[in-house]
Structure 1
Amino acid sequence: MNLQKLLVGMVTLLAASVAFAEPPMDIPRISGNLQFLTYYTQDTSEVQFQMGLRRARLIFSGVVIPRKVGYFVQWEGAGTAKLLDAKLVFWPFRNAQLVIGRFMPKFTYYMPHSSKSLDFVEYPLLSQYYGMWRQLGFQFSFGKHGFYRIHTGLFTGYPKNNWSDLNSAKSLLLSMCAHPIVGL
């Protein structure tokens, strides 16, 4: 996908979300996430201390049509700047959500959460090595919030974190989250 067309599209969505905003719920949001790492080693008698930037993310999200269409865009600025996520979110009917674009599917507990919500600066090892990570595709979720959610989707598959589909393999997703006690 041409990056210029994507940027023009996202600016258009941002402008449309401002035009159709119903305060305070539908105001476009701009947020970010900075994470630093520190390294400490003591080799023989010399102490070494270093500090580095792990993540520097800029996030744009909002609603284009109230209770119908929203968007989410995330850029990474640490190291080489790159576009991480670009997705459109549709709410076709109550308790249902359709997400189309490049994003992290609901494959594990941690994957759809923002990196600022993690317990540590890194994802768990199981998710790091066996998770789907960012995929291009769609995901449909439905269920009663607070009790259960069912997620199904179709994604580009191997390799992970890609923007194109160069093979015939696809990843199918079907998962369910149940919460028998509200708020659990």
Structure 2
Amino acid sequence: MTIRINSQTLSDYDAQLAYKTATAYLRQSDLANYLIDQLEQQHVKLSVEVCTDPALANQTLSNNGTIVWNLLSSVSPSPDLPHVAALLSRIPASQKPYITSQWALMHALALACQQLNNQLNFRDADATWPWLDEKVLSADDIENAVARELSDLPLPSEQNWNRVLKPA
């Protein structure tokens, strides 16, 4: 899969930086790392539109192969999932918007995996996640498993994209 990162509100460099920073944190989860790799290896195009428009924060706008990820998202898109809620509840107030924004990207990527699973082969005989071989791949299951894997790991020490949000 070709994952193209673009933005109408940020430079290409800053959009790439934000995406790579967020996925570096998420990839600490073996499952997130595996699924992001799977998305990148498929012969399908996926576009991630990195957005900084405050009016679009906390809205789900992804559609037709485009994920819209707003760096200003501050509300978890999956607050009812127990492991996600536990992960986000341990985050200090100063880092909550930063990590919640990264979780919004994880949510969008999990939905992409769920939606594409019928056409793509996410099943892996050697996978350490037995539910990955189920007929229906659930974004909720993915998010809960990733949150469980990240819950014992340290949070990012810096908020790397703060500078891209500051006006020039």
Structure with the bigger RCO (C-alpha within 8 Å, sep 6+) is 2
**TM-score bin (small chain):** under 0.3
TM-score by length of 1: 0.24
Considering fraction of residues, name the structure with more helix: 2
Considering fraction of residues, name the structure with more strand: 1
TM-score by length of 2: 0.26
